[in-house]
Chains A and B, each alone.
Chain A
């Protein structure tokens, strides 16, 4: 994948977990980042757009940030129902584009 995410992450209920997404100048470095949550057996769902904005209905314990060519998704106060795959995405100005995704991070709530 053009964007690099750790394959797995874990935490206990109530903990804060951060998932990273690393890209380059042609994608994250010059464009906004989107995050999707995919619960087991379901379609991806929009979680964060424009780096840090939450669609209505997404709890405020989900937050996104971007710095340079990297982005992060933070989940504060983990719930068991947060166990899912999380994907970052961004527009890419190069031949990789137009939209590139990370490989996904499987979050386990212990």
Chain B
């Protein structure tokens, strides 16, 4: 069965960096686009970033552009989110999620990980 497992969350000071990982199994990873989506009680769900199935194309929300970098390692079926220059308003639970159609991007999410919490605080 499809599984996505995030790790790497934690408490970090403003301005510092954190790298999230999402390890996957149960499907042919290198055929699917992968997203990061975050959730806060105040702002709800917010799409963060997408990496194409082959890593060739990446998109970012304006709120993280220039600070976050999404990447993937198809040999290890893992997607990453490098978060630099973290701000207090980046505090959220971060989910990785799969785009549903092989070798296309449909901009919705058919499988989600359990989430990893990130707290940015001094």
**Could you tell me if B107 and A43 are in contact, using CB atoms closer than 8 angstroms?**
no
**Could you tell me if A44 and B113 are in contact, using CB atoms closer than 8 angstroms?**
no
> Does A62 touch B at the CB level, under 8 Å?
no
Distance in Å from the Cβ of A96 to the closest Cβ of chain B? Answer: 9
Per the bound structure, the CA–CA distance linking A95 and B107 in Å amounts to: 16
Range of interface residues on chain A? 20 to 34
Interface residues of B, count at CB 8 A = 19
Which residues of A have CB within 8 Å of B108? 34, 46, 49, 89, 99
> Does B55 touch A at the CB level, under 8 Å?
no
Instruction: Return the CB mask of B17-40 against A: 1 if under 8 Å, else 0.
Output: 000000000000000000000000
Which has the most chain A C-beta neighbours within 10 Å: B46, B95, B106, B108? B108
**Could you tell me if B45 and A87 are in contact, using CB atoms closer than 8 angstroms?**
yes
Per the bound structure, the CA–CA distance linking A7 and B106 in Å amounts to: 27
**Could you tell me if A98 and B44 are in contact, using CB atoms closer than 8 angstroms?**
no
**Could you tell me if A46 and B109 are in contact, using CB atoms closer than 8 angstroms?**
yes
Residue of A nearest to B4 (CB): A43
**Could you tell me if B44 and A103 are in contact, using CB atoms closer than 8 angstroms?**
yes
Which residues of B have CB within 8 Å of A100? 47
Per the bound structure, the CA–CA distance linking A46 and B109 in Å amounts to: 7
**Could you tell me if B44 and A44 are in contact, using CB atoms closer than 8 angstroms?**
no
Per the bound structure, the CA–CA distance linking A103 and B111 in Å amounts to: 20
**Could you tell me if A44 and B112 are in contact, using CB atoms closer than 8 angstroms?**
yes
> Does A67 touch B at the CB level, under 8 Å?
no
Which residues of B have CB within 8 Å of A104? 44-45
Name A's B-contacting residues (CB within 8 A): 1, 34, 36, 42-46, 49, 55, 87, 89, 91, 95, 98-104
